[in-house]
């Protein structure tokens, strides 16, 4: 009993020096099905993200927020912006920081959309955005004042699919995040994302495909606002079974069973005598399967 009391005390003491950094990656690619069918959806998503980001800042004065817009060709930080901070005065009694968040996001997003190519692609560079977010977190981690603890997490909000073309980049990002103790949460707006779901599982994050878009803000506040250490105490949507299929390196398609290079662990859907990744040469299995079995038996 006394032990328990002691631990809670020390946790309270530490928590004053803890900073929570939340990086939100919002998929703003106009090529995704949701936005192609109804471009107004973007406004609703952006408003929900702003309200959600402000709620995160409201929880603690030390909390930090960064928001990225992910497109089909680029990913950019829309908050905090690269340009000079806007001159914000208090409007209607709203806390200036919240007004600043809203203004910066809308101005920067407007710039990105205005410069966007008219050629639509339904694939967003989510893996690239995730690695940029990890670099950003790393920089903040390095520059933080000594003695304070930084808890970082990334939330991906996307309506596009996760293509197996980015499989390698995704896996690199997921395992880097796991090493750096960065939690990756994913909020799928439109379709099931099996690769990103693997990322959530690897980094102990939450994956949720929201049942209806109208309730986006409510789902964000309910599921993704609480810090990861608090989550086990809450009643959250039950975890879904993770689809751990891998994508083959030759065609970038998801495979159930495939060939794995014994040297570099690359995955192939068909046998190839030379591994395209590490150039290891393998013996052809050939039609002499019976003989080779006998040889193996002798060994
Ligand atoms: Zn293949
Ligand atoms: Zn290999």
What are the chain's domains? 14-233 (3.40.50.410), 245-299 (no CATH)
Of 94-98, 118-122, 187-191, 221-225, where does mean pLDDT reach its minimum? Answer: 118-122
Give 122 or 15, the one with higher predicted confidence. Answer: 122
The pLDDT of residue 24 is above 90: yes
Residues with CB under 5 A from ligand 2 (ion): 261, 263-264, 266, 275, 277-278, 280
CB 247 within 8 A of CB 254: yes
In this structure, what token pair is assigned to residue 32?
Answer: 């995704």
**What's the mean pLDDT when you consider all of the chain?**
85
What is the CA(267)–ligand 2 centre distance, in A? Answer: 9
pLDDT at residue 295 is higher than 60: no
Mean pLDDT over residues 275-298, rounded? 69
54 vs 89 pLDDT, higher one = 54
* b/e 110-137 (16+ beta carbons within 10 angstroms → b): eebeeebeeeeebbbbbbbbbbbbbebb
Residues 270-275, mean pLDDT to the nearest whole number = 90
Extract the tokens encoding 148.
Answer: 């304070």
> Distance from the CA of 168 to the center of ligand 2, in angstroms?
14
In this prediction, residue 185 carries a pLDDT of 95
> Comparing 87-91, 97-101, 174-178, which segment has the lowest mean pLDDT?
87-91
Going 221 to 37 to 42 to 155, the CA torsion angle's sign is: positive
Nearest ligand to the CA of 266 is 2
Does residue 101 have a pLDDT over 80?
A: yes
Tell me, in angstroms, the distance from the centre of ligand 1 to residue 281's CA: 18
From the CA of 260, how far away is ligand 2's center (Å)?
8
At residue 55 the predicted structure's pLDDT band, cuts being 50, 70 and 90, is very high
């Amino acid at each position: 009993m006394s032990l328990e009391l002691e631990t809670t005390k020390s946790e309270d003491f530490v928590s004053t020096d803890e900073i929570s950094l939340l990086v939100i990656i919002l998929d703003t690619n106009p090529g995704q099905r949701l936005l192609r069918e109804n471009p107004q959806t973007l406004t609703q998503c952006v408003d929900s993200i702003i309200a959600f980001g402000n709620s995160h800042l409201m929880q603690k004065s030390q909390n930090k927020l960064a928001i990225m817009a992910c497109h089909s060709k680029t990913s950019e930080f829309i908050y905090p912006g690269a340009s000079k901070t806007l001159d914000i005065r208090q409007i209607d009694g709203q806390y200036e920081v919240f007004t600043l968040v809203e203004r910066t996001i809308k101005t920067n997003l407007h710039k990105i959309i205005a410069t966007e190519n008219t050629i639509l692609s339904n694939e967003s560079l989510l893996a690239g955005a995730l690695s940029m977010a990890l670099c950003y977190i790393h920089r903040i981690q390095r520059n933080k004042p000594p003695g304070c603890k930084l808890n970082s997490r990334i939330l991906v909000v996307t309506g596009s699919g996760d293509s197996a073309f980015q499989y390698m980049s995704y896996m690199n990002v997921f395992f880097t995040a796991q090493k750096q103790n960065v939690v990756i949460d994913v909020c799928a707006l439109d379709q099931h994302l099996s690769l990103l779901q693997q990322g959530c599982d690897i980094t102990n994050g939450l994956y949720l495909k929201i049942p209806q878009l109208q309730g986006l803000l409510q789902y964000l506040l309910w599921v993704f606002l609480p810090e990861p250490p608090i989550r086990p105490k809450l009643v959250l949507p039950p975890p879904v079974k993770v689809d751990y299929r891998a994508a083959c390196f030759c065609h970038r398609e998801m495979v159930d069973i495939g060939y794995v290079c014994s040297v570099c662990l690359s995955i192939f859907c068909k046998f190839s005598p030379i591994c395209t990744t590490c150039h290891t040469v393998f013996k052809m299995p050939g039609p002499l399967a019976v003989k080779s079995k006998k040889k193996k038996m002798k060994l």
